[in-house]
Amino acid sequence: MSHIFVSYSRKNLTFVTQLVTDLQQADLPVWFDQISIQPGENWEAAIEKGLKEAIAVAVVVSPDSMASEYVRKEINFAQESDQLILPVLYRPAQLFLNLQTIQWVDLSSEAVYAANLQKLIAVLRREPGLLENDAVPTGEAVEVDDTRKLSPTILSNYLHIGAMIAGQTKSQQLWRRLAGSIGTASQMNVGGQALALSRLTPPTLSRLVSLLGATPSIQILHLICRTENDMCFVEDDQGRETPLQIDELARILQNSSVKLLVVQGQLSVAGIQKLMQQSLVQAVITTTTAASDVMSKLFEEHFYAALAAGKAVQVAYQTALNTLGPDDKDHFKLTAKHDGVMLDYPPIEKRPIQPIIDPGLPPMRNVPINPDFVGQGQPLLELSEKLSSDDTRQVMIYGLGGMGKSWLASEFVARYGWRFSDGIVWIQVSEQTRAEDIFNQLRLLLGLPLNSALTHLENTLRQRRVLIVLDQANEWGNSTELTELAQFVSRLEPLGGTRVMLTAWGPTVGLAEISGSRELTLAEMLPVEAEELVRQLIIDYDVAGEFKSELVMRQLIEKTAYTPWFIKEGVRLTRLEGLEVALEDLDALSADTMLLFERYVGMQHQKLAEPTQVFLRQLQGLPDSFDRRLVQAIDSQSREHLRQLIQHQLLRREDKLYTIPPTVRVYLRQRYPLSEAEQDTIDQQVIQYWLGGAK
């Protein structure tokens, strides 16, 4: 049976029982050990079975549960399996690493319980396999690509926040946290004013001046950056840190409508006073760097919710502090120009009911955003410089498997995608990719008819700024299709702003010879860089007990050939299987070879049970992306197979769809190809699914 598994500490039994009751009253299937384990049934076996059969895992977050080894194991299992994880906040606590990048639902107080419970129910109803044909709930955040395109009259009905996240290695994670806080805060108080959040990209001084000058509705500026000696470190156009002095910030804010400044960093009392004296800012909130993500998100939600309800800044600040523990309150400090600082609020009858979120990125198609980039920082800057050159038509990122080529391309989009104002198209190249597929993706991005002439598309691109990413281009073996694409790229005018970024193991015949092509080769990390990465991952994956000596750490690094992906995979395997087994797995690989990644795939494939190997072989006959219901139509035992494939990194899940990594496809195609008859059978199953099963 498909259900929601509840992971919790028994010390929170009263709250959990109420939560389970509320979920059941919403007609959601829940597995709860207090009612699901039958008398005489083996407790551990029953829990293992309940967890394996779950589609979603609701983790009740509290200091007790975050200290529970049982809860930790259940979360690890869910993460390594194909299961939706939903953290439910009962009491603030330091989260496990694998929960820190996941949006949680705040049920920590009566004030938010009812509204946020409905959000939790709505998310669960959308998860395939739990319920059928449920309507998507309304009232969710409206995402726009640029709030500057909205009418000033519309934005004047919102409490508008400008967010600037600069110089942060986890900028995507911090943005998701803040955007999630704003979405929750807008819904916490009935009749409260909805919030609008605009992210400043790039996080540069000129962009800050431009946004504040062009958007008079912004009353709050939320800065997340490094601070030192009353300087806020923003970025230049290439992503390098550059200081912003208090005096300069004051001059910028003097010509804006900003009344409240929130800084995730520290400023001196004298600096804050100078800022308020020389600008229109009436209140400043600073946060220490020691404040955890859990603390910060809880504070943001309740602070902005109170502001949205029309409260004074001081009242909103105190409301947010009251949700924190006694030891956490000192991390947040308010300095105000006078008592009762009020922001400008429109009449109640004009207040909208939905928040607006502007992520500061252009329209995108199929782009994977990696929340945990672990590649080298210097190649990211080099890639930025090469793509920004006026004479560049395309940049080709080369490197062995595991060097982080796709990670680098994805991180570039997250950090520098703003340069391509007309959009970004990401193509995951496979043997079946056709040039026309790429052209159609571009037509859809630009709003052109699919039957429009190729010359029309080319002329349009010459006047637009678009980034085309061809990931794993070596998988494309069709010379005719390659020639057609190469001719298309060669006709693009570099000065027009459109660029091509390509990742591959080595030069791709046809594309590599195009004029205006530049190369970036990723090599193994330097020993000192690799050690720094391992130390950080040991903390992130909470496996310090396995690495009790420098010798063991260096042993792991040497077996990973100093490649970022394998370093991370080695630490991940250590958490999953223990250090001894992880080292044995890595030892079976040959360092410094083009087949490094492929050999790893083969080793993981051999660990699968035979039925799962057969299942994976069938999956290669499906489209590039497929959902769970489609694979269930092929094999009724697919859930356990999917869990194993996800755990062994042979299958990826992005949102509701699954994809086979390109290297895995190559491995299957070379060693376990499908016959024409087998492919025909799978094609018929897919057709039957679409005709009768995909309802």
User: Which of 631, 469, 595 has its CA nearest to residue 128?
Assistant: 631
Distance CA 553, CA 546 (A): 9
The whole-number pLDDT of residue 664 equals 81
Segment 72-97 shows an average pLDDT of 81
pLDDT at 259 over 90: yes
The whole-number pLDDT of residue 232 equals 94
Least confident of 162-171, 230-239, 454-463, 496-505: 162-171
pLDDT at 532 over 50: yes
Tokens of 511: 């594309």
582-627: per-residue pLDDT in tens? 888 777 665 444 456 666 778 788 888 899 999 899 888 887 677 7
Q: Provide the CA 24 distance to its chain's centre, in angstroms.
A: 30
Q: Please give the helix or strand (H or E) that residue 125 lies within, else none.
A: helix 110-126
Do residues 398 and 520 touch, judged by C-beta distance below 8 A?
yes
Segment 382-411 shows an average pLDDT of 85
Using only C-alpha atoms, the chain has a radius of gyration, in whole angstroms, of 26
pTM attached to this predicted model? 0.67
Tokens of 562: 């100093």
547-584: per-residue pLDDT in tens? 888 888 888 888 887 778 788 888 888 887 888 888 88
Asked whether the bond before 202 is cis by omega within 30 degrees of 0, the reply is yes
Tokens of 568: 């991370």
Which residues make beta-bridge pairs with 175?
none
Question: What confidence tier does 135 reach under pLDDT thresholds 50, 70, 90?
Answer: very low
Question: What confidence tier does 219 reach under pLDDT thresholds 50, 70, 90?
Answer: very high
Q: In the sheet that 231-235 helps form, which strands lie side by side, from edge to edge?
A: 226-228, 231-235, 241-245
Segment 470-489 shows an average pLDDT of 84
Q: Which residue has the higher pLDDT, 141 or 38?
A: 38
Residue holding tokens 């039925």?
A: 611
Give the list of residues 6+ apart from residue 473 with CB closer than 8 angstroms, or none.
429, 502, 503, 504, 508, 511
Hey, how many other C-beta atoms are within 10 angstroms of the C-beta on 18? 13
Quote the percentage of the chain above a pLDDT of 70.
89
The whole-number pLDDT of residue 290 equals 81
The whole-number pLDDT of residue 278 equals 92
Tokens of 12: 């929170």
The whole-number pLDDT of residue 137 equals 42
Q: Please give the helix or strand (H or E) that residue 436 lies within, else none.
A: helix 435-446
Burial per residue of 493-528, b for 16 or more beta-carbon CB atoms within 10 angstroms, e otherwise: ebebbbbbbbbbbebbebbbebebbbebebebbeee
232-253: per-residue pLDDT in tens? 999 987 788 899 999 999 999 9
